[in-house]
């Protein structure tokens, strides 16, 4: 059982010079960081037709025929390629769209998103 009460800190009054009642506010600029960007990466497999990959790149990533073909060849030759760089939500949506289209067409095409290098 405690017999003594704890001491409360003493508060010293601060001498404030007389003022005319005005208050000055200081404006601070806030800097927000841009959102983290994510790249959508498509992987190569031995079963998905090249034409399907080109069609997916045109449909979901708004690439023209020449760019889609170039990306498809990079996927085929190097094993993977970046299809686009987006914010996290957009990248996740694109990945879901690609995987759903591949599943409906019966292709094992794989696609994922990862943080883009700064």
**Domain-wise residue ranges, the chain:** 37-115
Tell me the whole-structure pTM to 2 decimals: 0.72
52, 53, 59, 62 alpha-carbon torsion, rounded to 10° = -150
Average pLDDT over all residues of the chain: 88
Q: How far apart are CA 14 and CA 16, in angstroms?
A: 6
Summarised one tens digit per residue, pLDDT across range 85-103 is: 999 999 999 999 999 999 9
Q: Tell me yes or no: is domain 37-115 CATH 3.30.1390.10.
A: yes
Q: How far apart are CA 9 and CA 63, in angstroms?
A: 69
Summarised one tens digit per residue, pLDDT across range 6-59 is: 666 665 555 556 666 677 777 788 888 889 999 999 999 999 999 999 999 999
Cα angle value 17/21/24 (rounded, 5°): 90
pLDDT at 26: 77
């Amino acid at each position: 059982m405690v017999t003594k009460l704890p001491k409360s800190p003493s508060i010293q009054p601060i001498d404030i010079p007389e003022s005319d009642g005005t208050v000055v506010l200081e404006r601070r600029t806030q800097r927000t960081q841009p959102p983290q960007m994510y790249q959508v990466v498509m992987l190569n497999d031995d079963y998905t037709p090249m034409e399907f990959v080109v069609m997916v790149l045109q449909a979901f990533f708004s690439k023209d025929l020449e760019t889609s073909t170039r990306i498809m060849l990079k996927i085929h030759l190097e094993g993977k390629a970046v299809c686009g760089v987006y914010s996290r939500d957009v990248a996740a949506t694109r990945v879901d769209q690609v995987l759903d289209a591949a599943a409906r067409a019966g292709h094992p095409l794989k696609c994922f998103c990862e943080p883009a290098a700064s």
